[in-house]
Structure 1
Amino acid sequence: MLERGDVSRLLDILGNRNRRRIIELLGQKPCFVTEISERLLLSPKAVIEHLQLMEREQILGSYQDERRRKYYYLSHDINLIINLQKQDDIVLSPREEDRHARITRDLVLLRRMIRAHDELLENLEHLEGEIESRFAWLMGEGIFTDEGELKIILALVHSDMELGDLEEMCGLSADELKKRLGNLMKMGIVEKTNNRYRISVTHGG
């Protein structure tokens, strides 16, 4: 049985649609950061932040495979039961009425925010086909020598990253990562600025 404070934190976590989407995906099978990012069309940085928060709250667990990729999985089953009680015959004190009115306003605002977010996601769906075609073109051009370089590019397409973030995202050792980054920098595809790697301005715009 959860304490009231635990329930409050859990509701805060589940109040975020992207965290609910991540939980739903991990309920099907364990996934690593890049996989979650690609499946849900979220930036790797946002995915990592959501995963770290839920891992701290012990909602998620993690392990590394032989390729040093970090997989996340649901560490507990989540069963949320809400009982609605009709309050026509309940007399509320002025303080309780204020609290009830605030809860009602917050729920209405939350519903509007979720609807707006859902509409935004629907408007983004038409981009999926173009994104897939661009990836297919890159693969067909034979620009990248191996899967590791492609993983690096996919990560940097979402956001600029430091070496440690790239290491976790790509599941490569530091030596393997530096070697591939060196190749991509020689090709002029990746550049380094203030310890952060990014797609070259010449290529990325």
Structure 2
Amino acid sequence: MARPYTVASHLHYFNIPLADFTAARPEFESFAVGGYIFARHDPAKPRILLLQRAITDTMGGCWEGPGGASEPESDKTLLDGVVREVLEETGLHVSRIVDLVAVDSWQHLRRNRGDMLRIAKYSFIVDVYEGELPREQIPVRLEASEHQAFEWAVEEEVRRSMQGSGRYQLPLPPTGHQGPNILRSFAWCKEQAAKSTKESL
């Protein structure tokens, strides 16, 4: 069960009824969300949680952050969808929606209808209650039908993977936004660390 969570003040625009949010964007028929999670016990070398898609699923073997489709039947807001997806895919409980990383859009062919489904995805950085624990003790629990492994990745390995020489196979276009968005998340993490250092001086 999801726990109460807070939302950074500059993100409250997203914390409106999902029906209102989607109605304001008629150019899209489907909405997706993502929640990037960092293990922060070593601020000098942050690690981000990546999940490997089940080999039997679409894009099997690829690595990604937690996320999925927004569900109007259960998500009161877009941010509720982030919280739900993180819980379903990792077993972790979001405590705070921290910042927006990226907004991506693409089209997907609906073979049964012969037309294109227009999708928008909103990816956020989130904190989780379990994040207070050392990285090795964070109790990640995967949904076996969707993901088969997880790792706490460092930025250097993600960069190598984007260049084709790293350990992570990242999704290809049109949904190949994972690599750039993961690097944006690391950049955000560095900015926050720099601010904290400056404020402590």
TM-score range, shorter chain: under 0.3
- TM-score normalised according to structure 1 size: 0.21
Between structures 1 and 2, the one with greater helix share: 1
Between structures 1 and 2, the one with greater strand share: 2
Ranked by relative contact order (alpha carbons within 8 Å, sequence separation 6 or more), the top structure is 2
